[in-house]
Amino acid sequence: MSPARFAVFVSGTGRHLENLAALAKRGELPGTPALCVSNKAGVAALDRAARAGIEALVLDPERALDAAAFSARAWSEVEARGIETVVLAGFLRKLLVPQRWSGRVVNIHPSLLPAFGGKGFYGERVHRAVLERGCQVSGCTVHLVDDEYDHGRILLQRWCAVEADDTPATLAARVFAEELVALPEALRRLWSAAPRG
C-alpha cells in the first residue's frame, strides 16, 4: 500500500502544513504532502511550502469566482495530481465537496465542535467567544468536511483547560498545541481505516 498523497489547503501561516511535512519526512505520518493550495497570495504558508519542497498553487486570490466555480477549479487541480486526501488547515474559503470526495476531506477547527463552530467562527474569534462564555475547557476538533461549515462527522477531539488569566492569544496557543497532535493522529486513523490501492 503506497502512502496517501495529500493536499493542504491554507489561507495563512501554514503551521499545520509545516508540521505535517516534518512528520512525513521523519516517517511518522503515512502520507506525502504533495500540494499546498492557498486562496491568498503572499501568505507565510507559501514560503513554508517552498522550504519543504511542496508544490504550491494560489487559486482565485481576487475572489472573482463564486463557491461553485472555485470548488470546481480546486478539485480539478488536486485530481490532476493524484491527490487522495485534502486537509483544510486554516482555510477560510467555502469549498463545496463533491460526492466522489466524501470521506476524504478533513478540517481542523479550534474548538470542541459543535460549540463555537459555523460561519464566522475562526481564529481569534473562536477563542474570544470561549472566554466570553466562561467555558472551563476548550480544545480542537478534526472532522470530515461536508457542505455545511464545521459540520461533518467528528474524527478526533482533544481538550485543554481554560485558565483564569487566559487571553484569546494564550488560549489559542494552548489549543494549537493540541491541534498539532490531533490533526496527524486523525489522518493516521482515517488512512488506516480506508485501504487504498
Q: Annotated catalytic sites, by residue?
A: 109
Nearest to 159 by CA among 112, 121, 89: 112
In whole angstroms, how far apart are CA 116 and each of 85, 126, 166, 167, 186?
26, 6, 17, 17, 20
Neighbours of 112 (CB within 10 A): 21
How is residue 139 written as a grid cell? 480544545
Rounded-to-integer distance, Cα 197 and Cα 194, Å:
10
Rounded-to-integer distance, Cα 82 and Cα 79, Å:
5
Which residue(s) pair with 33 in the sheet?
Answer: 6
